[in-house]
Structure 1
Amino acid sequence: MLGLVRRMLPRGLKLWAFERVVRSPVLSRCYYLFSGAFSREYAAVLYGRLQHVREAEAKSDDGARYTLRRNTHRLEKGLIMRPRREVFATGYLGETVNIFCALADQDDGSATAKALLDWSGDVLYRYFEAVPENADGKVDRLRVKFTESFEKHARQPGQCAPFVRDQTPLRVTIDDMIELARRRRSVRWYLQQPVPREIIDKAMLVGGYSPSACNRQPFEFRVFDRPERAAEIGAIAMGTAGFAQNFPCLVVIVGQLRAFPFDRDRHVPYIDGSLAAMAFQFALEVQGVSSCCINWPDIPEREAAMAKALDLEPDQRVVMLMSVGFPDPEGSVPYSQKKTVDELRSYDPS
């Protein structure tokens, strides 16, 4: 109804109304309350918070891992501070130790569980080394609990803790990076041959090193490497008509809102997923594989179709799609003139 009224208004009157709505936070909220444009985002954020609380109360593996990843990274940041406080992180240290001990007891020996426990265990070990005994009674009690768990599971301190990074000059130069950025184009025409999963996994390894808020990495890359399935999923997106049937492989990047207990973090899955996507694309390109990011607009019918096709839960939000394949040497790509450096950045005036 609001959309119909908006379309019927003369352009001048619409501009007049918008100018007044944008000046008032109350009117702006009312506008979107009636328009419903953000209703799915509201529901997704609330569902994500609900799942986060449920998983925390149930001490589920997924919820515990997200919390442990966040808290371990917070400890790391405290350990590298200069100067470092004698006692820190007492507000979440108990939660961190409790989750570590619980997951250590449930350790199934998988590579995924081992990697997280090795990292968190090493950071906690360094933390209790750094904080002197008798400096804080609560810390001392948690030190005992952690040490008992650490020794019970025969863990040994390793190298998965803050370190001084290697500063040996890289073999890749800035000119190499510029050439890679220029070479990477949005390719829509591919050779009809499969992309080896080894190539995709190596590129994903690079993507996984991308920065992520508190290292939670609240996303997953769902890979469809059967052409018929890639075409089916690709056709759900807008802007793929006429070439979706050409996809040898399609990746759908899905954000996880349940990784966050607060509304304020609702944009992080999109940011972190996009950072990983760019690194993933560059890593594909250096292996001779091309790609094309496919926009995913928030359209109710397409959201429903994608949720059904991928069996998504309400808090699992599509960030983007990406076609992947070996480029057809005869296929063209758009020129796509980019903004100049002067257009993209500005320096703080002195």
Structure 2
Amino acid sequence: MKTIARKLLPTNLKNTIRSILESFDAFLLNLLSMPFFLAHPRISNSLYRIFSTKFDREQQAVLAGRLAYRANVGIGYRSSALLRRNTHRLEKGLSMQPRRAVFAEDFIIETVRCYAQCVSAEKVCNQELKWAGDVLNCYFSVVSHTTNIADAYQIFSQASGYCKSSDINKAALSIPYQYQQINQAQINTDSFTDLCLQRRAVRWFTQQLVQDSDINRAIEIASLAPSACNRQPFEFFVANDKTLAPSIAKYAGGTAGFADNIPCVIVVVGDLSAYPEERDRHVIYIDGSLAAMQLMLALETMGLSSCPINWPDLDVPEQKMAKRLGLKSYERPIMLIAVGYAKPDGMIPFSQKKPANVLRKDIKL
């Protein structure tokens, strides 16, 4: 309806309607900022919802994610958010200095039951099962076996046969290790700064084919980015086709004028079914963005340029993207990333960045 109205209504009428809506929005904001409403947030929230439905999609997505988590007991297709979270919690306990003789009693039964389910279902990827199995095996080898931990060990022992027979378990153990064992990268601050300066938002690309192998390698590097409890609640939907990519890119309003020359586009999608509680609803954006930044830097090292494309929470584009990608109600687009080989004579914005003395705020004693 909005799209039709934009095309049919004259410009002066559209400007008048926009002015009226902006005036009402300002009135509502001023009203809700009054002391009475600030002191009674439930009343202000209820009043706000009468005039705005802009948070409805997020609320429905969060609810759908919580329901999916409970229905699947935290076990999704190829990965288990519950197993990943609890395995990481065990890793932190194993890394503690000094390490306690007994820890994780409150969630170890839940963890081994989830592990057993994953082994039985044979749908979680082998690398994830190996990591969980290695950490659990390490955990049981160092903690004191209280009654609760001994019961958990029995469940683990009965379930771990499938993983032990897997070829992937011939690899090195996936357990905590000392910092001094890290392979130090041959890169210094100046060269890393150069890479960051090299990475610009490029909007003009040649039509040279982007190799799928390069995209896969960049995704692997992006997966090394940190995420809350190592749940990695995101996926990368790739349209690596010069006809398909522009059609996907056009769902984002910020691609007008350059979408048709994009040879490859990646949609970063967050998965709210990784969380049983509302409090974690924003983690998909944090973790997805950390991975996306690492992805773009990785692309630069391959000679590929990129452009992160903003994805505001707008109902119509969300519906179109969800339908086109086949997203579930708890899966939400975080951003789009255009990828390709930059045109040598293509223009890029200067984009002055804020200096450190503007961005830094010291916390006082």
TM-score greater than 0.5 by the shorter chain = yes
Q: Which runs of 5+ in 2 are unaligned?
A: 1-17
2:75–2:81 Cα contact (<8 Å) kept = no
CA distance in 1, matches of 2:31, 2:117: 57
Shift of 1:25: 1.7
2:129–2:163 Cα contact (<8 Å) kept = no
Secondary structure of the equivalent of 1:239?
helix
CA distance in 2, matches of 1:204, 1:241: 27
Match of 1:37 among 37, 44, 54: 54
Query: Structure 1 334/103 Cα, relative in aligned 2: closer, same or farther at 3 Å?
Result: same
Alignment of 1:273-312 (within 5 A): 273-312=288-327
1:53 maps onto 2:70 in alignment: yes
Shift of 1:16: 4.0
The residue aligned with 1:213 is 228
Shift of 1:152: 6.2
The residue aligned with 2:350 is 335
Shift of 1:215: 0.5
Match of 1:164 among 156, 178, 191: 178
Q: Which moved more, 1:268-277 or 1:94-103?
A: 94-103
Q: Which runs of 5+ in 1 are unaligned?
A: none
The residue type equivalent to 1:126 in the other structure is C
Deviation per CA, 1:120-157: give whole Å up to 9, x if none: 00100011011123xx1111122122223334654569
The residue aligned with 2:151 is 141
Deviation per CA, 1:239-280: give whole Å up to 9, x if none: 111110000000000000001000000001111000000000
Shift of 1:24: 4.1
CA distance in 1, matches of 2:75, 2:226: 26
1:25 maps onto 2:41 in alignment: yes
Query: Structure 1 322/9 Cα, relative in aligned 2: closer, same or farther at 3 Å?
Result: closer
Alignment of 1:121-270 (within 5 A): 121-133=133-145, 136-151=146-161, 154-155=164-165, 158-165=172-179, 166-167=181-182, 169-270=184-285
Query: Structure 1 168/188 Cα, relative in aligned 2: closer, same or farther at 3 Å?
Result: same
1:296–1:319 Cα contact (<8 Å) kept = yes
The residue type equivalent to 1:114 in the other structure is N
Shift of 1:64: 7.0
Q: Which moved more, 1:65-74 or 1:272-281?
A: 65-74
Once superposed, what is the RMSD of the aligned Cα atoms? 2.3
The residue type equivalent to 1:120 in the other structure is A
Query: Structure 1 143/163 Cα, relative in aligned 2: closer, same or farther at 3 Å?
Result: same
The residue type equivalent to 2:138 in the other structure is R
CA distance in 2, matches of 1:164, 1:283: 26
CA distance in 2, matches of 1:228, 1:126: 50
Deviation per CA, 1:159-178: give whole Å up to 9, x if none: 10111133554311011111
CA distance in 1, matches of 2:25, 2:208: 54
Query: Structure 1 63/10 Cα, relative in aligned 2: closer, same or farther at 3 Å?
Result: closer
Deviation per CA, 1:295-318: give whole Å up to 9, x if none: 001111111111111111111100
CA distance in 1, matches of 2:177, 2:25: 63
TM-score by length of 2: 0.87
The residue type equivalent to 1:191 in the other structure is T
Provide the identity percentage: 40
TM-score by length of 1: 0.90
Q: Which moved more, 1:22-31 or 1:311-320?
A: 22-31
